[in-house]
Structure 1
Amino acid sequence: MHDANLITTAMANRIERLRAQKEAKSQKTPQEVAKDMIDAKQRQKKRYDEEEKKLAQAFEIFVDEQLAGMLAAEDLGGPVVGDMMDVDDDMLATGFTQQGRLKTSKQQISEPRRQRRLDEIWGAKATTEEGEHLTEIDAAGIEFRELIQKLFTSLAGSKSTDAYVALERESAASRFLIRAKIAQFHPKDARKLRLIDFGRELDD
């Protein structure tokens, strides 16, 4: 009975607020109502823009400080993303065994060989426009960001579920998105990838 009374009171208060809002709107001119609606939309857009900036900053920090190193390790034959945390440049320079474990020897590969390895895996992404060589972590981070951007652009520009992006190669970045259930391969072509549109029904 106590709960029923609380619910009844809450509903009565809600009805009264709605009635007051309706009466307030009825006393306004159409121009005033339109202005209120525009102001409300603008406030909503501003709030969404601020949230988007916060999410973008969090995404950049996550990629730079955590994900890029793990992606690079997997691309170099190391453990899959999530199995080894806190990957650094020295670990990547040392390399991994055929079983995907970090080599116990602290002897790092030569710089020319390391650069060839970078070029073979990441290609142009391993070098800046000024010709400066990047680390494996930097290259993996760039590749992941570019892939995410392509996937978002493809999905946003498509009115169908065929918003697939052709992959340059099967990378740790694409495999990570698949395992995280953020993206999916084309059912007939594993060289194509698209984001899962959570606003639509998932493919079987």
Structure 2
Amino acid sequence: MAHSHAHAIARIRKSTAETRDLQSGAMDVDASGTEARLEQTVRELQARVNEQQAILEQLRRSSQVNVQQAAYASEDPREKLKQLRAVKEAYTSLTPTVPLLPSIDSVLPALIAARTLQQNVQGSKQAITTTEAQITSAEALLRHEEAHLHDADLIQKALRDRTARLEAQIEDRSQKAPAQLAKELIAAKRAHKKGYDDEMQRLGDALNDFIDNYLSAMLAAEELGGPVVGDMLNVENETLAAGFTKKGKAKATKKPVSEKTRQRRIDHIWGNQAAIEEEDPLTEAEAADAEMRELVGVLFKTLIGPGGGRAYHHLKRDSAASRFLVRAKIAQFHPRDAQKLRLIDFGRELDD
């Protein structure tokens, strides 16, 4: 028995030394030798399997023990004690047994090492993929939290500044007489009103310039059966005078349209109110311009009138001007009556 142990240890040491030599030096691969060693290893393993199967079969024939019953502990204490003693004897008898080691020329250790390395590499790749996904998720969460922190810092700074201003105002007011405070409040309200009036005048002038220079011609083109506002940006007066086809394309006419024909068409679409006495007759763009200005003015008066933001203006007709205001989300039709229109009161939620 001692000789067997010494022989096994010697084989292990020799195999270790050979492995180190192979790792330190260049590896020579001989395909024919490797194939022969593989066949030899397969034969050794098959022989060992057959040997173990023969021993197991012999044990089954010679033993009177039921394998199914022996696999589970018996409920009888005496029988259970016998099973435990049998297990102990089996371990005691197998402990000094020399384990099966492959031969020196066997490639089984290399195959086992290759399989272990492949499993480790595959596991490492999966771990890398999982870790990269976790890092990406963590970075996105970090950016999200940094944005929240930045917003919180800005809010905190704004609150501190607001608190400081309010404290300064309270301290300043506490040192002034009521009459002086009332004068300052009235002056501030007047300054605010003047600022609002100036801004309204500026916005009104900008709206008039936009209608004059850009929108009026496009509105007139849509009224005459041409493209919708925005589809044709540069509309000339000659194009409006010639008119449009049923498909919405500009007509190509060689001779100019008579002023009487144009005036009748303008009166038919925009009405007689489009004509101004003692002045030159209006063009199509000028008639559309006047209609848009009048509509915006009426809608604004309705908005600030008694009904407030809930009152509607009853339209005389469905016009390109009203449709443009709705498409631009400046006005809205009544849910059940398309002849009623009102401006959208953007400040209603703040007022409420």
Q: Normalised by the size of structure 1, how large is the TM-score?
A: 0.87
Counterpart contact for 1:72–1:140, Cα < 8 Å: yes
Alpha-carbon distance between aligned partners in 2 of 1:13 and 1:187, rounded to the nearest angstrom: 46
Which position in structure 1 is the counterpart of 2:52?
none
Structure 1: which 5+ residue stretches go unaligned? none
Distance 1:5 1:120, change over 3 A: closer
Which position in structure 2 is the counterpart of 1:73?
221
Alpha-carbon distance between aligned partners in 2 of 1:70 and 1:4, rounded to the nearest angstrom: 47
Alpha-carbon distance between aligned partners in 2 of 1:57 and 1:197, rounded to the nearest angstrom: 21
Which position in structure 2 is the counterpart of 1:88?
236
Report runs of 4+ in structure 1 exceeding 6 Å deviation.
Answer: 3-11
Secondary structure at 2:271 match in 1: helix
What is the one-letter code of the residue matched to 1:103? K
What is the one-letter code of the residue matched to 1:74? E
Figure out how many residues of one structure are paired with residues of the other and give that number. 201
Secondary structure at 1:23 match in 2: helix
Alpha-carbon distance between aligned partners in 2 of 1:190 and 1:42, rounded to the nearest angstrom: 41
| Higher percent of residues as helix | 2
Counterpart contact for 1:125–1:139, Cα < 8 Å: no
Give the superposition deviation at 1:17. Answer: 4.2
Paired residues for 1:110-129 under 5 Å: 110-129=258-277
Which position in structure 2 is the counterpart of 1:42?
190
Alpha-carbon distance between aligned partners in 2 of 1:18 and 1:182, rounded to the nearest angstrom: 37
Which position in structure 2 is the counterpart of 1:182?
330
Structure 2: which 5+ residue stretches go unaligned? 1-150
Paired residues for 1:98-137 under 5 Å: 98-130=246-278, 132-137=280-285
Counterpart contact for 1:155–1:195, Cα < 8 Å: yes
What is the CA deviation profile of residues 152-201 of structure 1, one whole-angstrom value per residue up to 9, with x for unaligned ones? 11121133554111211111001101111111122222122111222346
**RMSD (CA atoms):** 2.7
What is the one-letter code of the residue matched to 2:274? A
Give the superposition deviation at 1:35. Answer: 1.1
Distance 1:99 1:38, change over 3 A: same
Moved more, 131-140 or 107-116: 107-116
Give the superposition deviation at 1:6. Answer: 9.3
Which position in structure 2 is the counterpart of 1:61?
209
Give the superposition deviation at 1:19. Answer: 2.7
Which position in structure 1 is the counterpart of 2:83?
none
Moved more, 180-189 or 74-83: 180-189
What is the CA deviation profile of residues 84-109 of structure 1, one whole-angstrom value per residue up to 9, with x for unaligned ones? 11212111012111111112344433
Counterpart contact for 2:302–2:308, Cα < 8 Å: no
Alpha-carbon distance between aligned partners in 1 of 2:167 and 2:278, rounded to the nearest angstrom: 66
Give the superposition deviation at 1:56. Answer: 1.1
